[in-house]
Amino acid sequence: MSTALGNSSKLLENKSDVIDYPLMISSSSSISDEVLTVLDTVFNCVLIHCLCLFGIVGNIINVTVLSYQGLKESNIMLFSLSIIDMLGSLFRQVRRLKCIVATLDIPSSITIDTFGSVVFILMDNWCLALSFFHITAIAVERCWAVCAPFSVSSVFTPRRVKILLASLYVYTAVILSPLFYRLTLVWDTDSSSNATVAR
């Protein structure tokens, strides 16, 4: 075993044996900073907002269809999940608004970034955690329907599902409550633009 370790240390000493992977970005990379800036702008300014808009529209369609069908046991959970996903997409879009504003006004983008980091990321995390809990509750209900199909309607009544969902909302808020006190806003003067910004 010591000979294997000795051979591997000899291989590491010879720098010509190291393979440079073209997809890895290093200081001597062929990808320029301008290309990375353009890619960052395309992903953070355009694609995220398009995906969020599709999410909002899709969840509005879900809410409309589920409301039209009536709120039964499983529809109540799906309705609540659609509302939470729609709010999460909305908060995510507002949080990423700084990229678009930065092309027009740097001090305003600093303030929007700060508000996004303090307020909207907390709401986004709340919606994300609630989505996870909703999906878990739906999975448990579906598993119960497969394992005990005759008792699922007596266990998951509309009243019990509403109580379960209300407890999920409260539980998630309690779990994430320390995050609400972690960050604060401080108004400061930006020396480069002579403007008051939130940091």
Q: For residue 143, what pLDDT is reported?
A: 92
Q: For residue 29, what pLDDT is reported?
A: 56
Q: Per the domain annotation, does 101 fall within a domain?
A: yes
Q: Per the domain annotation, does 28 fall within a domain?
A: no
Residue 181 is part of which domain span? 33-187
Q: Per the domain annotation, does 42 fall within a domain?
A: yes
How far is residue 199's CA from residue 183's CA, in Å, rounded to a whole number?
Answer: 10
Q: For residue 147, what pLDDT is reported?
A: 92
pTM as predicted: 0.72
Provide the domain count of the chain: 1
For position 77, which CATH number holds? 1.20.1070.10
How far is residue 114's CA from residue 100's CA, in Å, rounded to a whole number?
Answer: 15
HSE of 53, CA atoms in CB hemisphere, 13 A: 7
Q: For residue 88, what pLDDT is reported?
A: 92
Q: For residue 129, what pLDDT is reported?
A: 94
Q: For residue 30, what pLDDT is reported?
A: 62
Q: Per the domain annotation, does 57 fall within a domain?
A: yes
Burial profile 118-129: b = 16 or more Cβ within 10 angstroms, e = fewer: bbbbbbbebbbb
Residues 6+ apart with CB under 8 A from 34: none
Q: Per the domain annotation, does 5 fall within a domain?
A: no
Q: Is 49 exposed, middle or buried (0-12, 13-18, 19+ CB in 10 A)?
A: middle
Residue 31, classed as helix, strand or coil, is coil
- Please list the pLDDT of the chain residue by residue as tens digits (199 residues): 444 444 444 444 444 443 443 444 555 556 777 888 788 888 878 898 899 999 999 999 999 999 998 877 678 999 999 999 999 999 888 888 888 887 787 777 778 888 777 778 888 889 999 999 999 999 999 999 999 888 888 888 889 999 999 999 999 999 988 887 777 777 767 677 666 666 6
